[in-house]
Chain A
Amino acid sequence: MDMNYLYEELDQLQKNQSVIFDFIQDTALGGLWYWDLHNPENRWVSPSFWRTIGYDPNALLNEAEHWQSAVNGEDLAALNAQVRGCVASQTRRCEQIVRCTHQRGTTVWLLCHSLLMQDDAGQPYRVLGVFTDFTRQRNEEVYAQELASHYGSILSNQSVYIIKTDAQGNYTYVNDFFYERFGYDSKIIGTSSLQSIVQEDWPKCLGVVGRCFAEPEVPHQVILRKPYRDGTVKSNHWEFKGLLNGEGQVGEILCVGYDVTLLVENLENSQKLLALTKQQNHRLQNFAYIISHNIRSHSANLTSLVKLMQLSTNQEQSAMFLQMLKTSTDKLAETIVNLNEIVTANSNANQPKESRKLRQEVDKTLEALNVLIHESSIAVTIDIPAEVTVNVVPAYLDSILLNLISNAIKYRSTSAHPTIALSCYQEAEFIVLAIKDNGLGIDLNRHRTKLFGMYKTFHSNEDARGVGLFITKNQVEAMNGKIDVESELGTGSTFKVYFNESV
């Protein structure tokens, strides 16, 4: 209220000093029109109006002509119609957009507030038009709209998935491509995005979302699997980004993704192949060293013996060397036979498998070993149901049974009454055959890693070749199975053969 004196003073000033009025209309407004309602062609247009639309008011030679070309005729007609409406309805104010053409040819958007002035009789006779230039705001708005529709069409037509979720992970936007590929419709908006992902990948997805909250406005990558419309599962590479809302909180998560199923599959295949190749390479390399070792140990003897024989002058000694030479060549021949057997077991990995009754095969092997079992008075018990079958390469099964059962006989107990117990059970996809003896046993702490290695023998048994368990392991693995052992020195051993029944 205290300030009212200033308003009155200003009011007074602008009445007496034209500088105030000039200042307002020059600086604050886009222009002024003032015209005679009875003769609308009689008008006064402020210089600022001309400046607003790019003309120098002092250089205007033919104002009427410029007026014609600068002011949009339709808008002018509309303005006039509005003013007439005001007269009819006895209102004093109205507003109307009036487009003008800038001297450069661009459109200038002006908002015209009109005020009807009344004569002494209260009849409207003049109109004052006050113009505000809103071209910049207008252009920005148009640009923003164009941009939005432009990006809208990009979002819809890309072959990438673009989705947005709220902070709870519910879909708020999904592009057409996503709908199309995954067979969804707009009903999914508002539902949980996590539910559509393969459950195994949930922790991965939640992990990335967590990172989006911790580090917003920065992309975070992840590969997630999702069922495709035809039921196949597709791998998609996603870039998640936490978008901040007005309060500086993550309000939405923008996810842009594309299909990498083929890439992932190729990568997995390559990795599998690489692992297999590595494993094979390692095995081959070891095998080469083993062959080299075994052949060298005999060839070295042969070389030395020949030298010794050449130097020998003693008939008796020469005869001994000859005998040793014979033994060495026999051993070399045996080594080569063994190696041949191992190579055969290794190279025939793709032999056809057949179904065999386990009990029947065990009985057959025991029958073949009957004399040995009888001589050593071993008590054999069999707990294998007659109907249990295993999917095997028949020759491998024969070899495995023969080797493991003869080992049990060979390393039988010398102190207690020797026993061998054969049983079987199911474990996951495997049928497990257990061969348990109460024999010498093996110190697994010392020998576990080399038990199934080649030419490893653990007892000073003369006919131990050191290839049996190596071949057995190779044969079991060639049938996608595995072999395991439990043993204690002096108490006995249990060998377990896992026959893989899933493939």
Chain B
Amino acid sequence: MKVFDLVYVIEDDPITSIITELVVKQNAAFGEVQKYMNGQEAYDALVALQWAEEVPDLILLDLNMPVMDGWEFLDAFSALQLPKQVCVYVLTSSIHPEDMEKSRMYKEVKGYFTKPLDGDVLNQMVQLATGGRA
């Protein structure tokens, strides 16, 4: 049973992006993965959506990216009117307390995870989203 039918991976490093996709696909709770190179690309895709079923269930967001970084994406994203609630998790290499603190300021951000992403981290993501029911 899928918890997240559609997952956006927003990540500028192509290798990390591919790895994330592969790891996510190994977990049955995660469905389709769409990759975006930076915040701007993902935002443009979200703005262009017409149907509720096209809206992702989960966004895995890197912070440090060119063009539009994770924070700018969150600012733009929080102003969007989407037909469905989207769960956003920060997935970053930064363990800087300021970054963790700042991410807590966004109500859209439901979790902060540091790389590497693996099966355990994915299970935590599911637990967090379902409140332990899955």
Contact = CB atoms under 8 A, between A and B. Distances in A.
Interface stretch (A54-62, A90-98, A302-310): A302-310
A179 interface: no
A144 interface: no
A458 B66 CA distance: 5
A464 B19 contact: no
Interface in B1-53: 13, 15-16, 18-19, 22-23, 37-38
Interface stretch (B78-86, B93-101, B103-111, B123-131): B93-101
B94 A301 contact: no
B8 to A, nearest CB: 18
Contact of A293 (B23, B37, B64, B72): B64
A455 B23 CA distance: 26
A304 B118 contact: yes
Contacts of A292: 93-95
Task: Provide the main secondary structure of the chain B interface.
Answer: loop
A301 B37 contact: no
Interface in A417-449: 446
A324 interface: yes
Contacts of B67: 458-460
A304 B116 contact: yes
B64 A455 contact: yes
A289 B94 contact: yes
Contacts, number: 67
Contacts of A456: 64, 66
Contacts of B72: 446
Contacts of B13: 297, 301
Nearest to B116: A300
Contacts of B38: 460
Contacts of A304: 19, 23, 116-118
A300 B94 CA distance: 12
A90 to B, nearest CB: 109
B70 to A, nearest CB: 12
A327 B14 CA distance: 11
A297 B118 contact: no
A107 interface: no
Given A300-B16, A328-B15, A460 B37 contact: yes
Interface in A282-321: 286, 289, 292-294, 296-297, 299-301, 303-305, 307-308
Given A293-B94, A293-B95, A308-B22, A303 B15 contact: no
Given A296-B115, A459-B66, A324 B94 contact: no
Residue among A286, A303, A455 having the largest count of chain B Cβ atoms under 10 Å:
A303
Nearest to B62: A297
B22 A297 contact: no
A494 interface: no
Contact of A301 (B16, B96, B114): B16
Contact of A294 (B22, B23, B66, B93): B93
20 contacts: A289-B96, A292-B94, A293-B93, A296-B95, A297-B13, A299-B116, A301-B15, A301-B16, A301-B19, A301-B116, A303-B118, A304-B19, A304-B116, A304-B117, A305-B19, A308-B23, A324-B18, A446-B72, A455-B64, A460-B37
Given A292-B95, A464-B66, 14 more contacts: A289-B96, A293-B92, A293-B94, A293-B96, A297-B16, A300-B93, A301-B13, A301-B15, A303-B118, A304-B19, A304-B23, A304-B116, A324-B19, A460-B67
Interface of B: 13, 15-16, 18-19, 22-23, 37-38, 64, 66-67, 72, 92-96, 114-118
Closest 8 CB pairs of A and B: A300-B116, A300-B115, A297-B93, A296-B93, A457-B66, A289-B96, A304-B19, A303-B116
